Chains A and B, each alone.
Chain A
Amino acid sequence: MMRFTKDHEWVDLVGDTATIGITAYAAEQLGDVVFVELPEAGKVIRTGEAMAVVESVKAASDVFAPVSGEVTAANGELGENPQTVNDQPEKSGWFVKIKVADPDEVDGLMDRAAYEIFLAGL
Chain B
Amino acid sequence: MTGEALKSTPLSASHVALGARMTPFAGYGMPVQYPAGILKEHLWTRAHAGLFDVSHMGPAWLELTSPSGDGEADHRAIAALIEPLVCGDIRGLKPGQLRYTLLLNDGGGMLDDLMIGRPANPELQGRLYVVVNAATKDADFAAIVARAGAAGRLIRADDGALIAVQGPQAADLLETLVPAALDLGFMTFATEAFEGASLTISRSGYTGEDGFEILAPAALAESLWTRLLADDRAAPVGLGARDSLRLEAGLPLYGHDADETISPIEASLGFAVSKRRLKARDFPGAARVASELAGGLTRVRIGLRVLEGAPAREGAQIAEPSGAIIGAVTSGGFSPSLGASIAMGYVPPAFAEPGTALKVLVRGRAQNAVVVAMPFVPHGYVRKPKT
Contact B334 A55 (CB under 8 A): yes
Q: A60 at interface (Cβ–Cβ under 8 A)?
A: yes
Q: For residue A37, which residues in chain B have a CB less than 8 angstroms away from its CB?
A: 309-310, 363
A35 touching B334 in the complex, CB below 8 Å, given contacts A55-B310, A60-B313:
yes
Please give me the residue from chain A that is nearest to B240 by CB atom: A58
Q: How many A-B residue pairs have CB under 8 A?
A: 44
Contact B336 A57 (CB under 8 A): yes
- Partner of A60 from the list B37, B241, B244, B310 (CB cut-off 8 Å) is B310
Within B223-255, the residues touching A (CB, 8 Å) are: 240-241, 243-244
Q: A72 at interface (Cβ–Cβ under 8 A)?
A: no
Q: For residue B336, which residues in chain A have a CB less than 8 angstroms away from its CB?
A: 57
Contact B38 A58 (CB under 8 A): yes
Interface SS of B by simple majority: mixed
Q: For residue A60, which residues in chain B have a CB less than 8 angstroms away from its CB?
A: 310-311, 313
Interface SS of A by simple majority: strand
Q: B42 at interface (Cβ–Cβ under 8 A)?
A: yes
A57 touching B310 in the complex, CB below 8 Å, given contacts A31-B33, A31-B37:
no
Q: A56 at interface (Cβ–Cβ under 8 A)?
A: yes
Q: B10 at interface (Cβ–Cβ under 8 A)?
A: no
Contact A35 B42 (CB under 8 A): no
Q: For the complex, give the distance between the alpha carbons of A31 and B334 in Å.
A: 13
User: In whole Å, how far is A9's beta carbon from the nearest beta carbon of chain B?
Assistant: 19
Q: For residue A53, which residues in chain B have a CB less than 8 angstroms away from its CB?
A: 310, 363
Q: For residue B333, which residues in chain A have a CB less than 8 angstroms away from its CB?
A: 57-58
Please give me the residue from chain A that is nearest to B42 by CB atom: A57
Contact A55 B311 (CB under 8 A): yes
Chain A interface, number of residues (Cβ within 8 angstroms): 12
A34 touching B33 in the complex, CB below 8 Å, given contacts A56-B38, A57-B240:
no
Please give me the residue from chain A that is nearest to B341 by CB atom: A35
A32 touching B37 in the complex, CB below 8 Å, given contacts A57-B244, A57-B336, A58-B333:
yes
Chain B interface, number of residues (Cβ within 8 angstroms): 20
Q: For residue B309, which residues in chain A have a CB less than 8 angstroms away from its CB?
A: 35, 37
Q: For the complex, give the distance between the alpha carbons of A5 and B241 in Å.
A: 30
Contact B311 A35 (CB under 8 A): yes
Within B17-40, the residues touching A (CB, 8 Å) are: 32-33, 37-40
User: In whole Å, how far is B18's beta carbon from the nearest beta carbon of chain A?
Assistant: 16
Q: For the complex, give the distance between the alpha carbons of A37 and B240 in Å.
A: 22
Q: For the complex, give the distance between the alpha carbons of A35 and B363 in Å.
A: 14
User: In whole Å, how far is A30's beta carbon from the nearest beta carbon of chain B?
Assistant: 10
Q: For residue B38, which residues in chain A have a CB less than 8 angstroms away from its CB?
A: 31-32, 56-58
Q: For residue B313, which residues in chain A have a CB less than 8 angstroms away from its CB?
A: 59-60
A57 touching B39 in the complex, CB below 8 Å, given contacts A31-B240, A34-B311, A35-B310:
yes
Q: For residue B243, which residues in chain A have a CB less than 8 angstroms away from its CB?
A: 58
Q: For the complex, give the distance between the alpha carbons of A34 and B380 in Å.
A: 26
Within B183-232, the residues touching A (CB, 8 Å) are: none
Contact A57 B363 (CB under 8 A): no
Within A46-70, the residues touching B (CB, 8 Å) are: 53, 55-60
Q: For residue A55, which residues in chain B have a CB less than 8 angstroms away from its CB?
A: 310-311, 334
Please give me the residue from chain A that is nearest to B243 by CB atom: A58
Q: For residue A56, which residues in chain B have a CB less than 8 angstroms away from its CB?
A: 38
User: In whole Å, how far is A33's beta carbon from the nearest beta carbon of chain B?
Assistant: 10
Q: For residue A59, which residues in chain B have a CB less than 8 angstroms away from its CB?
A: 313
Please give me the residue from chain B that is nearest to A32 by CB atom: B39
Q: For residue A58, which residues in chain B have a CB less than 8 angstroms away from its CB?
A: 32, 38, 240, 243, 333
Known: A31-B33, A31-B37. 14 other contacts (CB 8 A): A31-B39, A32-B40, A34-B311, A35-B309, A35-B334, A35-B341, A37-B309, A37-B363, A55-B334, A57-B334, A58-B32, A58-B38, A58-B333, A60-B311
Some 6 contacts from A to B, beta carbons below 8 A apart, are A31-B39, A37-B309, A55-B334, A57-B38, A57-B333, A59-B313
Which 9 residue pairs across A and B have the least CB separation, nearest first? A32-B39, A34-B334, A57-B38, A31-B37, A58-B240, A35-B310, A57-B334, A32-B37, A31-B38
Chain B positions within 8 Å of A, measured between CB atoms, are: 32-33, 37-40, 42, 240-241, 243-244, 309-311, 313, 333-334, 336, 341, 363
Chain A positions within 8 Å of B, measured between CB atoms, are: 31-32, 34-35, 37, 53, 55-60
